[in-house]
Amino acid sequence: MKRILVAALAAMCIASPVSAESKWKCPQWQRLAREVGFTRADWPRLDAIMYRESRCRPQAQGYNKRADGTVWSIDMGLTQINNYSWVTYLRNLRIIKNSTDLLHPRTNLRAAKALYDYSKSKGYSPWHQWRTSSSGSWNN
């Protein structure tokens, strides 16, 4: 009986292997993130940010509105980069020509890496742009 149980468990493991990527929310973007300069160590945080910000959808857009309901800025793409705050900076780096370029996965991740590097150069956590509260829960 014990041998049958062990054999059955072994067969189940072989039939449905656990993928190393199964713990990630946005595994389809991992290779691209590495290509644009994020490291393996950066991946867990970047994966969590992409899932929280866009649910891994490159075309995601979040509208920031004034009290009267008019839109004053848009958060765009996988990492929800704000077009009002960062478009000039990213244009100067020649990462984008216009804000809709942020809807392309490679461009969005390149822009996110530029913001990561910018924050780091200013002495902040590299994830400073994606902090979620005044306590800076992404800043460690």
Residue 92 located in a structural domain: yes
Confidence (pLDDT) at 20: 53
The residue range of the domain holding 122 is: 22-130
- Give the Cα separation of 45 and 26 in Å (integer): 11
The percentage of the chain sitting over the pLDDT mark of 70, rounded to a whole number, equals 79
Average pLDDT estimate for 120-136: 83
Q: Is the pLDDT of residue 136 over 50?
A: no
Residue 34, C-beta contacts closer than 8 angstroms, at least 6 positions apart: 40, 43
Does residue 4 fall inside a structural domain?
A: no
* DSSP element (H, E) containing 117: helix 105-121
The amino acid at 123: G
Residue 57, token pair as written in the block: 């959808």
CATH number at residue 123: 1.10.530.10
- In this predicted structure, the answer to whether residue 63 has a pLDDT above a threshold of 90 is yes
Q: Which residue has the higher pLDDT, 79 or 12?
A: 79
pLDDT at 108 over 50: yes
| pLDDT of the residue at 16 | 44
Is 11 or 26 the better-scoring residue by pLDDT? 26
35, with CB counted inside 10 A (0-12, 13-18, 19+), is: exposed
Number of domains in the chain: 1
pLDDT given for residue 5 in this prediction: 45
Torsion of CA 70, 105, 132, 26, to 10 degrees: 130
Please state which of the ranges 6-10, 28-32, 59-63 shows the lowest mean pLDDT.
6-10
pLDDT bracket for residue 133 (50, 70, 90): low
Element (DSSP H or E) covering residue 27: none
- Distance of alpha carbon 46 from alpha carbon 32, whole angstroms: 12
Residue 103 lies in a domain: yes
Establish if 140 belongs to a structural domain.
no
Q: Is residue 107 part of a domain?
A: yes
Span 77-86, pLDDT tens digits: 999 999 999 9
The arithmetic mean of pLDDT across residues 54-82, rounded, is 97
Nearest to 29 by CA among 3, 60, 7: 60
